[in-house]
Chains A and B, each alone.
Chain A
Amino acid sequence: MSKDKSLSSAPRASRRGFLTAAGGLAATALASQARAGAGNPANQPPNVPEWTRTLGEGVAVRPYGKPSKFEKDVIRRDVEWLTASRESSVSFTPLHELEGIITPNGLCFERHHGGVAEVDPADHRLMIHGLVERPLLLSLDELKRYPRVNRIHFMECAANSGMEWRGAQLNGCQFTHGMIHCVQYTGVSLRTLLEETGVKPSGKWLLVEGADSASMDRSLPIEKALDDCIIAYKMNGEALYPEQGYPMRLVVPGWQGNLWVKWLRRIEVGDQPWHTREETSKYTDLLPNGKARRFTWAMDPKSVITSPSPQAPIKHGKGFTIVSGLAWSGSGKVKRVDVSLDGGRNWWPARIDGPVLDKALTRFYYEFDWNGEPLLLQSRVQDETGYVQPSKAELRKVRGYNSIYHNNGIQTWHVQANGEVENVEVA
């Protein structure tokens, strides 16, 4: 895994030091123990560990820091059979390994339609035209001269959990719920730029378009554009990552990820929607009667237990156990989260810890003494509008099985007596 020499060279050197001191045979035995996951007793009390007896790396050996090599499995993953090409595909955030509400930039899930555009910011331009008084062409540096806003929001793909419409399919919350991330965006309020250009009274819709090879374009109603949208150039304090739209992307709080156009290059103001491919062929939700909903922008309230989960089994046996999870709503703030241990028959209020922000991920916990018996774990969010997350059966009653998008049904994890966890459906 670790191809980075700066990561592996120092520990290797110190291991050589240990070999000299302790002798070959014992060290080999200990090393194999370490590989088996039991740890290395030579580094445990009462012994003084090797990292106490040697100098570590100096400053700036890693000019841009990386996680510990022991965290090498905390990575984005993809599901090869989902799509025909990696350039128009998706990878998933490792939710089962994360805590709090902020997603590290390098772990934010990706969804591209024409690969990652490597945009030179010196050449990138944002054009605003159409039904405006003063069309505008901005460079990145010019955009940065406009007043800034900082906002923490979740961004969820409309297809998150889409593979689960017909039943339990993928075994892990990274795969079932990992098309989501939540970061702090810094940028310019779209309203500020629309006021600068002066939208004409007939301007009711915006076409927003990316600079990538898919030229991703979507229609956005003017009300939303003037409400809380942002043209962001920073995420979690640093420049957007290329796979997240460097040098600038649209942030559309609470609404489906497809509208968050990356590599944003053009905004055209018009008097009616464009009905682009991404709002006709895609991102329309087929109902059982053969009709399809269009413009299903908002992401409904949703939650998931991230641990325990199939990729994060209980390893400690019975006793005090922490259930950790995420809840969010595209319509506002999370009001409460309940947890069930018996598949939705009985519920207990979860404890929310950390900030509860508008259209942002919210962290919840449920702590209990596990007696070692199998569980059917569920979480259920209610947001400030009163919406209560439905079961999958309740959703299917209205929408059938073929709407692809907007699956916010309650997730069930089957915790087995041995602590292993499985994605299941219950009835």
Chain B
Amino acid sequence: MASRPGMCRQTVRSRMSRSPKLIIAVALATFAGSVALAGGPQEKIAAKTEAKTEAKTEANAPQRFNIGRAPTVEEIRGWDIDVRPDGQGLPAGKGTVAQGEKLFMDNCATCHGEFGEGAGRWPVLAGGKGSLTSDNPVKTVGSYWPYASTLFDYVRHAMPFGSPQSLKVDEYYALVAYVLYLNDIIADQNFELTDKNLATIKMPNESGFIMDDRATSEKAFWQKDPCMKNCIAPVKITGRATAVDVTPEDKDGKPRGVE
């Protein structure tokens, strides 16, 4: 903060002291907006209380620049479509496995295959159960993904590839239901996935993840004095990239970029 010019600081201070009532009003209006999105009545009360407390301590807050404006509730709603594992952010909607199957054939199967098996090099969505410790793990929604919310969040904001956010909310529920069905996570074709039940779906590999533990599991990589002389026995070449021969080549047969 030392880099902020003094003039700016004064301007901000005078503007802040001018209308403390306005600041409280803005803070409350703002919270009304975000609470409307979060939805819970308990949260609403908590937020109001918190807003009042924060408004009182406003005088001790860091200086502000007052550049930019507050987004409206509608502006936030238009962009805020993310979903968390606990279901926060799920839009009202529903869709069945059967509805999803038809949508999948029309919008997804060209790349992902009719059963999520993947066409060509496009991503495989289903299968691979029990393969994570094998030489060639097949990491799919069913074998690897920890949360159903991620599937909804990703498909809704980024799929179909090339025309994202082109389907209706109910259609995305149906598609997610079908992909879960392809992975045997939903067994019933008539199952209807909704904003009420999506967060209750348990994924097979939810417990398959640990926090980054490099600081402990790779402690041996921190050394006081790295070895300089006769560190290991003489080595031999055990693998060659030229034997694999998959590097893009120029016309002369050399790797691209060799002059």
Interface residues of A (CB under 8 A from B): 73, 75, 77-81, 83-85, 87-88, 94, 96-97, 113-114, 127, 129-131, 133-139, 142-143, 145-147, 167-172, 174-175, 195-196, 198, 200, 207, 209, 213-215, 217, 265-266, 268, 270, 272, 274-277, 280-281, 284, 286, 288-298, 300, 310-313, 338, 342-348, 376, 380, 382, 385-390, 394, 398, 401-402, 414, 422-427
Contacts and interface: CB of A to CB of B under 8 A. Distances in A.
Nearest to B5: A147
Interface in B218-247: 218, 220-224, 226-242, 244, 246-247
Given A275-B146, A295-B212, 18 more contacts: A73-B257, A127-B79, A129-B76, A135-B34, A135-B70, A135-B71, A167-B244, A209-B79, A268-B82, A270-B88, A272-B84, A277-B153, A277-B158, A289-B133, A291-B208, A295-B211, A342-B235, A388-B222
Contacts of B214: 293, 296, 298, 300
A136 B71 contact: yes
A84 B122 contact: yes
Contacts of A81: 246
A209 B122 CA distance: 24
Contacts of A297: 212
A109 to B, nearest CB: 14
Interface residues of A, dominant DSSP: loop
B107 interface: no
B79 A171 contact: no
B150 A390 contact: no
B221 to A, nearest CB: 5
B-side binding surface: helix, strand, loop or mixed?
A: loop
B21 to A, nearest CB: 15
Nearest to A340: B231
B75 interface: yes
A228 to B, nearest CB: 15
B221 A296 contact: no
Interface in B142-170: 144-147, 149-150, 153-154, 157-158, 161-162, 164
B226 A380 contact: yes
B208 A290 contact: yes
Nearest to B250: A73
B7 interface: no
A136 B257 contact: no
